[in-house]
Amino acid sequence: MATKTIFGCWRRRKTKAENKALKAENEKLKTQTEGLIDYYNASEEKMKALWLELDEVNRCQMCNR
């Protein structure tokens, strides 16, 4: 019986350590994801502005023909 208790304790500590490591990795990934979402949102606005500018240039070129 003593071995089961020691093994159970060891396994519980190992599981807690793995859980802690996974939580830390999850937080790291959340931070990276938030950064990518912010970058995408900022890029999306810039792309919209560039498309509008391009559309305006194309319309002016068509008028000059």
pLDDT at position 1 is 46
Task: State the pTM of this model.
Answer: 0.56
pLDDT tens-digit profile, the chain (65 residues):
445 677 779 889 999 999 999 999 999 999 999 999 999 999 998 999 999 999 988 888 878 76
pLDDT at position 52 is 93
What's 64's DSSP letter?
T
What's 65's DSSP letter?
-
pLDDT at position 2 is 47
Q: Where are the alpha helices (DSSP H) in the chain?
A: 2-63
| Length of the chain in terms of residues written | 65
pLDDT at position 30 is 97
